[in-house]
Amino acid sequence: MPESNITPSVVLVMGAGDAIGSSIATQFAQAGHTVCLARRNGDKLERNVRKLRDSGHKAHGYSCDARDEEQVIELFKTIENTIGAIEVVVFNVGANVPMDIVNTSSQKFRKIWEMACFAGFLTGREAAKTMLKRKRGTIIFTGATASMRGGANFGAFASAKHGLKALAQSMARDLGPKNIHVAHVVIDAAVDTQWIREHHPAYNELIDKDGIVNTDDLAKNYVMLHEQPRNAWTFELDVRPWVENW
């Protein structure tokens, strides 16, 4: 079935934080979809869900630890049974924790891997299960600079992000011929989040000249990926502002 004939349905954003995740949900809502936002501390979603509803959109918030297999399975069942058919799943769980290698404990390494890679597997697997029944859907994974190269002090994060990219590649080759679009978005730049506003030394200079990624503009790419015709699907989208060096 061509993408243009698909009626907008339910979008699940796993890892719906206050910045990128919230903007992704907002852009899909504005495109006519019902959006479901999920994060480990679901109570933190109340403000964003209320804002979407006040704007006339259909939005729902859920607590879910994406590293917990049973919680992820239950989340998909709940949405499918009470909200509607999940058309798009975005995995956007963050785990960007810098630390030098000698101070990286096995516990920290494992936790970062669970958040950035294992949780992506659980989310992607459950998304595939639901979409294969209808033979359509879109699964998008959020990547980072660490998906492409391992920087100093980011050994754990880079290993997890490399693993997530490999997972996405494998899923794309498996599910693409079954009419399920799998994509990986590499955000290779600073994004306009609260942490960047407070800690980036050149924030004021860069923001004035479009040198930092705007979350709403970034999120529009996710909607575009879902709306692509299947004869011209993109697997990997590399995002950076015009002033960024490659």
| pLDDT tens column, 155-172 | 999 999 999 999 999 999
Read off the pLDDT band of 193 (50, 70, 90): confident
Q: 88 near 183, Cβ under 8 Å?
A: no
pLDDT of residue 1: 36
* Alpha carbon distance 33, 46 (integer Å): 19
pLDDT of residue 237: 98
The pLDDT of 40-69, averaged and rounded, is: 96
pLDDT of residue 8: 56
Domains by residue range for the chain, with CATH: 8-237 (3.40.50.720)
The pLDDT of 204-220, averaged and rounded, is: 94
The DSSP secondary-structure symbol of 116 reads: I
Q: 160 near 117, Cβ under 8 Å?
A: yes
> Is residue 6 pLDDT above 90, yes or no?
no
> Is residue 2 pLDDT above 70, yes or no?
no
Strand locations in the chain (E): 10-14, 34-39, 59-63, 86-91, 137-144, 180-187, 236-239
pLDDT of residue 198: 87
> Is residue 4 pLDDT above 50, yes or no?
no
Direct distance between the N- and C-terminal alpha carbons of the chain, in angstroms, rounded to an integer? 37
* Alpha carbon distance 33, 57 (integer Å): 8
* Percent of the chain with pLDDT strictly greater than 70: 97
The pLDDT of 5-21, averaged and rounded, is: 84
Total-model pTM: 0.94
